[in-house]
Amino acid sequence: MSRPGRLAVGIVGAGRVGAVLGAALRQAEHDVVAASGVSEESLARIDALLPGVPVMDPEAVVRAADLVLLTVPDDSIAAVSAGLASLGAWRGGQIVVHTSGRLGTEALADAQGAGAMALAIHPAMTFTGTSLDLTRMTGAAFAVSGPAPLLPIAQALAVEMGGEPLVLDDRDRPAYHAALVHGANHVVTAVSQAGGILARLGIEEPGRVLGPLVHASVDGALGEAPGAVTTLTGPVVRGDAGTVAAHVAALRGQDEALFAYRAMARATADLALSGGRIGPAQYADIIAALGAEG
C-alpha cells in the first residue's frame, strides 16, 4: 500500500537532471507514471534510471501526472509551458516544477494561468545523468521559489529528493545562479586550462600535480567568510610583481589562458587589497606587471 500524499509524477524532458530527480522521487515512493524523451541519450536514461516507466509525448505526460517536472533547457521553459497550455494539458491543482537556477516561477505563467501550481526547484549540484547523482545530491542545497502558500510543498519535495531547501525570492535567482556558475563551472575552466599548460610541458598526469593544491585551496576558501583572504596564497598576495610578470610572459601565445590569468589575477589583487594583504603600492606594481589585455 502506498504512503499517503504520494503523487503521480511526470517528467517532460528526461535529460541529465529530469531523469535523476524522477528517480529520487521514485525512491521516496512517488509513482513516476510517464516521461518524455526524444534523443537516444534521454531514452537510455529513462531505461536505466526509470525502468518500466512508459515514454510518452509531453502532452500525454502532463495529462497523466499530478506533479510535472518540466526539465527542459532554461530558454525553452516558458515556450513549452505555453505550448502545453495551448493544448489544454494543464489543469487546476496540478503541481509543475522547473529546475532552472536562473528563472523564477514567472517562466511558468501559462501553466499558472490554467490553474497549475508553479514552483522553481534548483539543486546546487552538477549532474552526470547516472545513478551516481542520487548519492551526490544528498545534503546539497536546493533553491526553492514560489508563492508563499506553496513553499512548504517545494521544501518537502527538496527534502524527499535528498536536498536541503534554500528559500529564494524569484528576483534573487539570477544572482544566485551566477554565483554557482562562477564558483563551480569557472573553476573547472581554470583547472582545465592549468592542466593544459602542464601537459604542454610534458607532464603526463597534470591532475596529480594540481589535485592536492586545488582541493586544499577550495576547501580553505569554502571555510572562510565571504570576502575573507586568510587562506589566499600565491604571488599576488605576496606582492611579488616579478613573478606575476614572468607568468604573463610565459603564457604569451596561449591567449585563452593568458586572458583568464590576467582577469583572475586582477580580481585577486582587488581582494588582497581590500582585505589588507597588500598595500596600494604593491597593488599598483601587480597591475602594471599584468600589462594591457588584448
Compute φ and ψ for 33, nearest 5 degrees. -100, -20
Residue 165 CA, distance from chain mean position: 15
pLDDT at res. 3? 61
Average pLDDT over residues 244-268: 94
Which pLDDT tens digit goes with each residue over 34-44?
Answer: 999 989 999 99
Provide the b/e sequence for 122-147 (b: ≥16 CB within 10 Å).
bbbbebebeeebbebbeebbbbbbbe
Task: Find the farthest-apart pair of alpha carbons in the chain and give their distance in angstroms, rounded.
Answer: 73
pLDDT at res. 88? 98
Q: For residue 49, what pLDDT band results from cuts at 50, 70 and 90?
A: very high
pLDDT at res. 228? 74
Q: For residue 67, what pLDDT band results from cuts at 50, 70 and 90?
A: very high
Q: Is the pLDDT of residue 269 over 80?
A: yes
Give the residue, 90 or 228, on which the prediction is more confident.
90
Cα 242 to Cα 288: distance, rounded to the nearest angstrom: 10
Provide the b/e sequence for 148-168 (b: ≥16 CB within 10 Å).
eebeebbbebbeebbbebbeb
Q: Cβ-count burial of 62 within 10 angstroms (0-12 exposed, 13-18 middle, 19+ buried)?
A: buried
Q: Is the pLDDT of residue 79 over 90?
A: yes
Which pLDDT tens digit goes with each residue over 1-14?
Answer: 456 578 999 999 99
Compute φ and ψ for 114, nearest 5 degrees. -90, 5
Residues 6 or more apart whose CB falls under 8 angstroms from that of 119 comprise 95, 96, 97, 98, 105, 144, 145, 146, 150, 153, 154, 157
Q: For residue 224, what pLDDT band results from cuts at 50, 70 and 90?
A: confident
What is the crossing angle of helices 280-290 and 255-274, to 10°? 170
Which pLDDT tens digit goes with each residue over 132-151?
Answer: 999 999 999 999 999 999 99
pLDDT at res. 2? 52
pTM for this one? 0.88
Which pLDDT tens digit goes with each residue over 11-26?
Answer: 999 999 999 999 999 9
Average pLDDT over residues 239-248: 95
- Determine what percent of the chain is predicted with pLDDT higher than 90: 90
Give the residue, 4 or 162, on which the prediction is more confident.
162
- Strand pairing of 95-98 and 67-70? parallel
Say if CB 10 and CB 60 are below 8 A apart: no
pLDDT at res. 136? 93
pLDDT at res. 4? 57
What is the crossing angle of helices 241-250 and 255-274, to 10°? 160
pLDDT at res. 1? 42
> Across all residues in the chain, what is the average pLDDT?
94
Which pLDDT tens digit goes with each residue over 175-220?
Answer: 999 999 999 999 999 999 999 999 999 999 999 999 999 999 999 9
What is the crossing angle of helices 16-27 and 151-160, to 10°? 90
Provide the b/e sequence for 192-226 (b: ≥16 CB within 10 Å).
ebbbeebeeeeeeebeeebeeebeebeeebeeeee
- Determine what percent of the chain is predicted with pLDDT higher than 70: 98
